[in-house]
Structure formats: C-alpha cells, structure tokens
Structure 1
Amino acid sequence: MENSKRNNRGIEENTMAILDASGVKDAQDVDDDRLSFLEAVRASSIVPESGTAPTGKMLGAIFQILKDGKSLELTMASYQLLNALDKHFPRVYLSHSDKSKLSSTKQFELVVKEAWSPFVLGSEGVYSGREAAVKHSSEPLDSFGFHLLIQDIAQVANGANFQVFDTKPLGDMLAFQYLVNVLEGDFLPRNTAYRETKNWALLRESMLNMILEAFLLLISGGKGEGFQTRYNVQGSRRISYKSLIKDCVSIISNRCYLHAGFSLYDLKTPEESSAKTIHSCDAAVSIALVELGKGTCTAVQKLLVLIMELDMSKKQADMQGCTTRADGVRTPLVEIILDELTYNEDLLSPFFQAFSEPKWKLEMILQYFWKYITKPSVRTRRSNNSSEDATFGGVLKCFSNGTNTKSIIKKISTEVSQLLLAHAFQAYLSLQHSVEDIADSREDIGGSSVVQICESMISAFHNLRRMDEDVEIMPLAKEALFTAATILSTKS
C-alpha cells in the first residue's frame, strides 16, 4: 500500500510538472504542454494493463482544461480522457458475489470507492458555485454552479450569447455531458442495488440526490437581496429547481444543435448567410458546435430520465416508510415538465419530437391527458384498485365515443390531442421488444392487446374527425394511423 501511494505521488509529480507554466510561454506552448500532460496521464493510467489511477490533483487539472475550452483539440482530448478514466476506474459499481445462484440472497454488492469528484456534495458546497464557475474553473461544481452551466448552454440554444471564435460553448457542452455521465455512472448501480435491497440510503447518498437536495437549501436559504448581491444573480436568473428544469426543457425543445447562431446551410453558402457565418467564425468550431449540440440534447434528456427514475424510487421508499423529514420534499419532475408544457403549448411538439425515451415519454403524455380527462364521479372498490385507467389503453377508451371526445377537445385542442396520441402510440410501440413481437404481443401493461390498441387508435382519430370536421390530420398522426393499420392487416 505504501509503495502504491509513493508510486502515485511520483507519477503525479512527473505529470503535473508538464503543466508548470513558469517563464514566458506563448499560447501554443501552453497548449502543447497541456496536450503532453493529457497524453502522459493516459500513458500511465489507461495504456498499461495494470495502470495507476490518477490522483485527485491530476483529475482536477484535466477537468480545468475541459472547462477552460481554450481550443477544440484540448477540449475534446480532456473530455475523452475523463470519460475513459471513469470507465477504467469507476467510483461506484456492482460486484458479483460468489454465492450460489440457488441462493435467495442478492448476487451482487455495491462497491463505493473514495475518489475525486467533479461535484461538491452536501450543504458545505451549496453557495460555492459562483466562485467555482467564474474564478476557479478547476474547482468542482455544486448545485449552483451546475445550474449556471445549464443556463449558459440554454442561452446558446436560444441563439444568444455566442461570440465568433469562441470555444467556451464547446467546453460548456462537453463539461455538461461529462458531468451527466458521472451522475449516471453513480446513480445506475445504486438504483439497481436499491431495487434489490430496498435500502433507501443507497440512493440518498447518490450524487444526483445530493445535488437536487441542495436546491432545497438554495431555495430556502437563497432568498432576498443579500443572496442576489453576494452571488450577482439577477431576478430573472434566480436559482431554483424548477428554473433548472425549465432550462432543460428549453434546451431540448429548441434543439440547440439547430439554434446555435448559425446552421450548416450557412457554412455551405456564406454569401447568403447572416453575420455569424464562415466569414466570421472558424468552420471547425462551427461544425463541432452543431454536433456537440446534438450530444448535449441527449445528455439533457439523460439527466431528466435519471431524475424521474430517482423520483420513482423515492416514491416507493416513501410508501415503505424508508424516508425521513431530512430527505426533503421535492416536486416530481414529471409534474414540473407538464406544467411548463401546459403553460407554453408551443413547446409541446418540439419537446416530444426531441424527447425519445419511450417509457417516460409515454408516462408524461398519459399524465398530461389525465389532467384534462373527466374522471368518473362514482367508482367502485374494484375500479379504484384497477390501474387500467393509467395505461395508454385507458386513455384511448376516453376517445371511444363522440361525447367523451368532444369533452376532451374542449379542454385541449384537436391538434394537441392528435399530437399527443401519435407520440404516445410511437412510444408504446417502442416499448415492445421488436417489430416482429408487436404483431404477436398479446397484452400491454393494462391488459389491452396490441391489436386492441391499434383499433382504438383508429377509432380515436375517427371520433376526432367527427367532432371537428375541419381538422387536418398532421403528418405524424398519419404515420401512426398507417402503422396501426399495417399491424392490423398482419393479424387479419
């Protein structure tokens, strides 16, 4: 053990010496030193079969290079190295036990290693984000700094705050993608272990839960002019959990890879483009920003899915009495997203077009419908215990006759109804194992067969047209109806 520590210290000294910028160096020399440092870390940690894990100081330096975003080459190299190191030396993982498969006990154990983290966790880091985000880019981020990063990305997604030759947005996007990868790598094995053991402490101590819980401290402790003055936060940029989710919805809905201040069309025809064209910004940076925008949207969706999975596990823990008052009360993410989409219906189509995770896409659409569908005034004990209403089949039954359909489209328009039905049908089919299994599948979660779902889809759109003769069936809905008819034809 002592020899290992001494070896790590020697590697740290040798690699960190490369970053010593003493003396006069031009920008290119500094970039070369940083690239050499990254390569030295890779050579000592990943290339050998039994490489040595880099120290926290070394990882912090790599994280600083990533966040600085000084050049496209450095940003990509540091991002790839950090992800490779996390895969090579995971902080949290499941270790399979040697117990017999016939044993009723769990077949794995959760292993949590003490390691450097890009996040400041716990109450001690609640208010360090401004300094970490602005002054000390090598410092880990807390909830505050994490939200500032998302806000900056949201501004780029909206086409604002982008300067020519500015590689900072690249660093922001890749830093965010890396941070989400870290949250995912910490959360997924913990959630798997929780489902097996029902030990809520495993998720309580997850990075994701601790970051979200810190938002409750920010909200309760960050009100008033003193907080805004201390951290230079204007009223329109106040930090809260709901505003964080609003920024995430905005990034997904705006499809930041199409709204980064330019387009690939600008790169191909500079004579017809706006001020932010190939004439005024580097082509490599422009193309990279478009591509990284796609990855960033995917990372935002991944973050939302992780939070929704955490909400579901926490709800189960609440029902089992495993949580305490210290866990705090947080509005479920699905409710916040639905409130945002209800307040601004213009986001409905782009959000569900971009959000592709079928399980939660279907869940959000079903909950959206049930906000407006009239519930039966009298329910029997049997119907109260049934979960059929909460399924896609249950929603489609509400469109089974003209009266119910007319009641629904009075509250939400015909256009919104067919948009949501089409996306829900798409997500429903995606949850099936394969295209071949769709026709042969007998039941969905609510007990309706795929054939019944397809018949109900066609019936629902028939009633929509009966109640609104002027409605134009949108292309997405036509595709859904064609798919439903094709599946039915295979069973006839």
Structure 2
Amino acid sequence: MEKGRINRGCMEANTLAIIDSSAEFHNHKDSQEAKDDRIDFLEAVRTASVVPENGTPPTKKMVDAVFTILRAGESLELIMSSYELLNEIEMHFPRVYISESSGNAPRELVVVKEAWLPFMVSLDVMSSEKETDRRKSCPLLDPNGFHELILGLAEMAYKTASQRLDTKFLGNMLLFQYLVNVLEGDFVPHINMYKESLNWNILRECTLNMLLASRRINYKVLMKDCLYTICALCQDYAGNYNESECSETSSEKSSENHNTDVAIALFEVQRATCMAMQKLLIMSMELDMSKQQAHMLCLTNRSRSDGVRTPVVEIVLDELTYHRNILPTFLQVFNDPKWKLEIIVQYLLKYTKPSVRTRRSNGPSENSTFLGVLKSFSDSSSSRNIIKKLGVEVVQLLLAHAFLAYMSMASQQHLAAMPDCNEAVLDSSSVVEISKSVAAAFNSLREVDEKIQISTLGKEALFTAAIIISTL
C-alpha cells in the first residue's frame, strides 16, 4: 500500500511537470525527448489504473494531462495513445451509472461528483476578458469550444484529400469522438432512469441537456453544423470517393511530410467521426422527444434548460428542404432506422398532406404514419402533384429509404417491442400491407412518368417488397 502511494505521488509530480512544460513542448515540436516523456506518462497511468483488476481511478490532474496531450499532440503515436487511454478510463471508471436493485429497493442513478469531466458547462455568461483567461488556464471545453471544434471539422472536411492529410485534423476528429463517447456514457443512464421514473429532474441534469441549453452557443446553428459536417465527412465513402485521386495526393503528401501512417488512419477515423456526429444528433432527438413528453405531463419549469427550443428533427427537415443537394448523401449515411423513417415521413408530409398536421402539434394524426404517406400515392393525380413539387428522382429516393428503414425496424422487432417509438411513424400496419403500398406507389410513379429510371436502391426496395408479398 505504501508503495502504491509513493508511485501515485511520483505520477502526480510527473503530471505537473508535463503541464508546466507544455509551452516548451510547443516550442520544440520535434523534441523526441518530450514525446518520450509523454508516452511514458501515458503508459504509467494505464499500468496504474486500467491494467490492474482493481485499479484506482487516476486523479483529475492526471486525466487533465492525458486530455491535454490529446488536444496538443503533435505525433500520431501521442494522439492515438492518449485517445485510447481516455476511452479506457471512461469505460473502467464511469462517472454515471445505474445501481442494481436489491430486494424491494428501486434502482438509482449514481453520479460520481468527484469524477473528471472534459466539459465545463454553465449557463452563466462571462466577460470576454475572463473567457480568454479561463481558456488559457484550462484544457476543458465549454459549449462554445465544443461548437468551435465541430466548425473546424466541417471546414477541413470540405477541403481536398491532400489538405486533409493533417495530424491536427486527425487529432481533432478523435477528440470529438471521445467527447461524444463521454456524452453518451452520461446520457444513456440518465434517459433510462427518466423512462423508469418519469422524473424530469434526472434528465434535466444530464451533460447533453446542459450543453445544448447553454447561452454560450446558438443551438440551431450547432445542429445545422452537425448536419453539414456529417454530409461533408462522409462524402468520401458515400459515392463521391475518387480512390485513385486520393491515393495519388495522399502518397505525394505522405512522401513530403512522412505522414504515411496518418494517410492510412485518416479514412477510417473520418468514417467513425461521421458516425459520432450522427450519434450526437440522435441523442439530441431522443432528448427532444423526452422533453416534449415531460412538457405534456407538466414536469418542466420555466428555467432556461427547460425552455422551448426548435426540435432537432425540424431543424434537419428545414435544411434538407431548402438545401436539397445534401439530401441523397444524408439519406445514404444516416443509418438509424427509427429516426431516418421519422425524418422521411415528416419530409413527405410537407408535400403530400400539409394540412393534416401542424408542425407544433403534440399528437399524431391518422395520416402522419408511413402508411398514411404511402396512400398519398394511391392515384396518378396525387402522385403527379408530388412529383411536380419534388421531382421523380427525389420521390423514389425517399420512398426506397423509408421502406428499407421500416424493414430494418421490423427485422429488429422494433414494431412490437419498442414502447418509446414515435407513434407518428409506427402504427399497427402489417409489413405485408406496407410492402403492397410501396409497390403500388412505385407503380403510380411509372404511370405518371413512363420514362422513369428506377434507381438501384429503388429496385432493392421493390425486390424486398415483392419477396414479402409472395409469401402470402
């Protein structure tokens, strides 16, 4: 035990030395000795806290130092090592979890108050001078810093393959992935306990809710930036990836900067970052849905965190409506079937039966389900009106993606086993009835436009529908 305390004291001293020498590290970016010190420190933290079966959590100063290494790391080894260690710490020492029930005692949400958190969320407004001083002295991210990180990713994502071949860009993507992992680890137990207890106070206090309610960010702009960053980051593997061009530019850049390892890692990290951005949007949508329920049950109050804000789904719908050029990419890369189906149904409702349901209404209508939307294509006259507004390519794209999302949910037995599903999307319609309606909708499109070219995805949807119908 005494030896453990001595080792911990040495690591604390090493931590302070790393923090104090950060300025020197930036002035000597190629200092192998400085990099070796940090690698040794990361390994020491892992050995002391993660490797042992009953390891003790690292102190806040130690995790602060690991986080600082990730944010300022100038080598791929430092970036990857610090990123992996932070995720291991998060997994081994969760800050939030649900206690197991014993006897008649209900389960409880446990929040380890003294645990380290990479965010500094507060609804208070600082002066610009205090804000600058705080940023210089603290490695943590406030809501504005989180938004700036996303903006930086968006800017880099739209650049060429050779311009993106940058260690800092790679590090920022991994930083964002880690931050989303932290938000998810905090959000999931909070929302699960809310669903069990319907105690809104539990979900109100989650980090994601405090982040989105902060005065430091423009919530709608943040959500829009997330949407566009998803489309930008995923453009390489969403059908726009020129492998030969990327290979040539990557090889040229690698030979110049000796960044071959970065070139190899960049593509997969970019894909994972896109999925992390999608996860952030989905958690925000789930938060919106729970908050709407809490409003209806009169569980909320007049505080800023409970204030009315535009639901994420509406923000996404508006952007997809007014910037239709991103619609195909978004539908291709956004792979959560529940929310994908919800977004498509609401999108089509804007052009099919807009008078059925107002944007702010709380309850679903009979025609706001997927089947209700499909019935709008039951005759050539209504189909012609929809095609006139959207175009035949967009219509079949929406129908195909919606049906495949519906089938994905059915295969996961979500139709019968998800009490929290959005009633506006899911109804009691059978898969067979939906399949027949999808086939009828495509036939209606053919009647309106005899020269229609059915897309590959449309053919996949029709083939799936035909297989299901043939089982009768």
TM-score by length of structure 2 reads 0.86
Q: Partner of 2:195 in structure 1?
A: 195
Alignment partners' CA distance in 2, 1:165 and 1:483: 41
Query: Match of 1:189, as an amino acid?
Result: P
* 1:329, distance to aligned residue in structure 2 (A): 1.8
SS at match of 2:108: strand
Q: Partner of 1:418 in structure 2?
A: 396
SS at match of 1:151: helix
Gaps of 5+ in 1: 219-238, 379-383, 439-443
1:408 matched to 2:386? The reply is yes
Decide whether aligned partners of structure 1 residues 263 and 135 sit closer, same or farther in structure 2, where only a CA change above 3 A counts: farther
Query: Match of 1:362, as an amino acid?
Result: L
Query: Match of 2:34, as an amino acid?
Result: V
1:346 matched to 2:318? The reply is no
Decide whether aligned partners of structure 1 residues 377 and 44 sit closer, same or farther in structure 2, where only a CA change above 3 A counts: closer
Which among 454, 457, 460 is matched to residue 476 of structure 1? 457
Alignment partners' CA distance in 2, 1:458 and 1:70: 55
* 1:411, distance to aligned residue in structure 2 (A): 2.3
Decide whether aligned partners of structure 1 residues 212 and 3 sit closer, same or farther in structure 2, where only a CA change above 3 A counts: farther
* 1:27, distance to aligned residue in structure 2 (A): 1.2
* 1:208, distance to aligned residue in structure 2 (A): 0.3
The answer on whether the counterparts of 2:234 and 2:333 sit within 8 Å (CA) in structure 1 is: no
Decide whether aligned partners of structure 1 residues 15 and 97 sit closer, same or farther in structure 2, where only a CA change above 3 A counts: farther
Equivalent positions of 1:447-486 (< 5 A) are 447-486=428-467
Q: Partner of 1:374 in structure 2?
A: 353
The answer on whether the counterparts of 2:250 and 2:263 sit within 8 Å (CA) in structure 1 is: no
* 1:10, distance to aligned residue in structure 2 (A): 2.3
Q: Partner of 2:280 in structure 1?
A: 303
1:321 matched to 2:303? The reply is no
Equivalent positions of 1:47-66 (< 5 A) are 47-66=51-70
Alignment partners' CA distance in 2, 1:95 and 1:209: 22
1:13 matched to 2:12? The reply is yes
Alignment partners' CA distance in 1, 2:252 and 2:9: 48
Deviations 1:133-154 (A, max 9, x none): 9745x52111110010000000
Q: Partner of 2:89 in structure 1?
A: 85
Alignment partners' CA distance in 1, 2:437 and 2:235: 37
Equivalent positions of 1:225-236 (< 5 A) are none
Q: Partner of 1:429 in structure 2?
A: 407
The answer on whether the counterparts of 2:173 and 2:273 sit within 8 Å (CA) in structure 1 is: yes
1:290 matched to 2:267? The reply is yes
Alignment partners' CA distance in 1, 2:10 and 2:197: 40
Alignment partners' CA distance in 2, 1:342 and 1:126: 37
SS at match of 1:111: strand
Query: Match of 2:261, as an amino acid?
Result: A
* 1:303, distance to aligned residue in structure 2 (A): 0.3
Query: Match of 2:373, as an amino acid?
Result: V
SS at match of 1:325: coil
SS at match of 2:348: helix
Deviations 1:258-314 (A, max 9, x none): 29x99653464x3xx489644444221122121110010000000000000000000
Which among 46, 49, 57 is matched to residue 45 of structure 1? 49
Query: Match of 2:220, as an amino acid?
Result: K
Q: Partner of 2:369 in structure 1?
A: 391
1:255 matched to 2:259? The reply is no
Q: Partner of 1:209 in structure 2?
A: 209
Alignment partners' CA distance in 2, 1:385 and 1:73: 52
Deviations 1:319-353 (A, max 9, x none): 01111121222110000011111111010000010
Q: Partner of 2:422 in structure 1?
A: none
* 1:122, distance to aligned residue in structure 2 (A): 1.2
Query: Match of 1:475, as an amino acid?
Result: T
SS at match of 2:121: coil
The answer on whether the counterparts of 1:387 and 1:446 sit within 8 Å (CA) in structure 2 is: no
Deviates more, 1:448-457 or 1:425-434: 425-434
Alignment partners' CA distance in 1, 2:235 and 2:66: 26
* 1:254, distance to aligned residue in structure 2 (A): 2.3
Decide whether aligned partners of structure 1 residues 142 and 457 sit closer, same or farther in structure 2, where only a CA change above 3 A counts: same
Decide whether aligned partners of structure 1 residues 377 and 163 sit closer, same or farther in structure 2, where only a CA change above 3 A counts: closer
Alignment partners' CA distance in 1, 2:272 and 2:131: 26
Decide whether aligned partners of structure 1 residues 4 and 55 sit closer, same or farther in structure 2, where only a CA change above 3 A counts: farther
Query: Match of 1:111, as an amino acid?
Result: V
Alignment partners' CA distance in 2, 1:319 and 1:352: 31
The answer on whether the counterparts of 1:150 and 1:247 sit within 8 Å (CA) in structure 2 is: yes
Gaps of 5+ in 2: 417-424
Alignment partners' CA distance in 1, 2:79 and 2:50: 19
TM-score by length of structure 1 reads 0.83
Deviations 1:372-425 (A, max 9, x none): 2225789xxxxx987442221111111112222222223222211111110001
The answer on whether the counterparts of 1:15 and 1:41 sit within 8 Å (CA) in structure 2 is: no
1:113 matched to 2:103? The reply is no
Deviations 1:161-191 (A, max 9, x none): 9758731101110000000000000000000
Q: Partner of 2:38 in structure 1?
A: 34
Deviations 1:215-260 (A, max 9, x none): xx23xxxxxxxxxxxxxxxxxxxx622222222111221234729x
